[in-house]
Amino acid sequence: MKILFPKNTNTLISVFIIWLFHICGLLGIIYGNREWFIAFTPINLFVSFTLLFTNQVELERKNLLAGLAIFLIGMISEILGVQYGLIFGDYIYLNNLGFKILGVPIMIGINWIMLTYITGSFSNYIFDGNKKAAIVFGAILMVVLDLLIEPVAPEMGFWAFDSIFAPIQNYIGWFTIGLLVQGIFHYSTDKKDTTFSFHLLLVQIVFFTVLNFIAL
Instruction: Say yes or no to pLDDT of 206 above 90.
Output: yes
Closest CA to 78 of 117, 44, 121, 110: 110
3-class SS of residue 159: strand
- What residues make up the domain containing 136? 2-215
Residue percentage of the chain with pLDDT more than 70? 99
d(CA 70, CA 74) in angstroms, rounded, equals 6
Higher pLDDT, 2 or 29: 29
pLDDT value of position 102: 97
Note the pTM of the prediction, 2 decimals.
Answer: 0.93
Residue percentage of the chain with pLDDT more than 90? 80
Total structural domains in the chain? 1
For 165-186, how does the pLDDT look when each residue is reduced to its tens digit (9 = 90+)?
999 999 999 999 999 999 999 9
| pLDDT (average), residues 73-78 | 98
Q: Answer yes or no: are the C-beta atoms of 106 and 126 closer than 8 Å.
A: no
